[in-house]
Amino acid sequence: MGTQNLHLTPEGYEKLRKEIKYLKTVQRRKLSKEIGQAIAQGDISENAEYDAAKEAQGLNEKKISELEDKFSRAQIIDDENIPKDEVRIGAMVELKDLKSEKEFQYTFVAELEADFSQRKVSVTSPVGRGLLGHKKGEIVEIKVPAGVLRYKILKISR
């Protein structure tokens, strides 16, 4: 399992806590019920439903273990100690794509919280790593597999 601290926003920390609780309560009960129903069908030696339910139970327990490890290393980002004038985890950054002239916003989060549909970009992604530490007004070039992205940082907020 991991050894380094995992920095999360307060929202990411709460989401992780809720996911662990769900897996340990609702999901465990559901899988236990499925195993019981499969056993009730009789001989489990050639029972595909039993095998599938036991496998799902094992995967659930593995996921719980992995998430609990992350939770034990989680540290909530303290906005007080983070520079407000540079791109850091937890920052909402307004950017301008210098090629298309389009403007957009990303919130920079830990890898565990990344969700592109919500415009949450991991600080470990190529774009996240490329923008990390830069300040308002700077033009940043980021090499990605598709070429080079050129962004101007318009605004940084928390």
The CATH number linked to 38 is 1.10.287.180
Picking from 21, 53, 76, the residue at the C-terminal end of a domain is 76
Q: How many CA atoms lie within 13 A of 50 on its CB side?
A: 11
The boundaries of the domain holding residue 37 are 6-76
Res 155: pLDDT: 92
Residue 141, sorted as left (phi over 0), alpha (psi -120 to 50) or beta, turns out to be beta
Number of domains in the chain: 2
140 has a pLDDT exceeding 90: yes
Determine the average pLDDT of the residues in 52-72. 92
Residues 130 and 91 in one domain: yes
Picking from 47, 76, 105, the residue at the C-terminal end of a domain is 76
Determine the average pLDDT of the residues in 46-54. 87
Determine the average pLDDT of the residues in 133-156. 92
Res 3: pLDDT: 66
Residues 40 and 97 in one domain: no
Radius of gyration for the chain, computed over Cα atoms and rounded to the nearest angstrom:
22
Residues 102 and 135 in one domain: yes
Q: Which of 49-53, 95-99, 143-147 has the highest mean pLDDT?
A: 95-99
2 has a pLDDT exceeding 70: no
Q: Residue 142 domain-assigned?
A: yes
Report which of residues 59 and 46 the model is more confident about.
59
98 three-state secondary structure: coil
Res 74: pLDDT: 84
Res 78: pLDDT: 67
Q: What is the per-residue pLDDT across 76-125, written as a single tens digit (0 to 9) for each?
A: 876 665 667 788 888 899 999 999 999 999 999 888 889 989 999 998 89
Percent with pLDDT over 90 in the chain = 50
* Whole-angstrom distance, CA of residue 24 vs CA of residue 20: 6
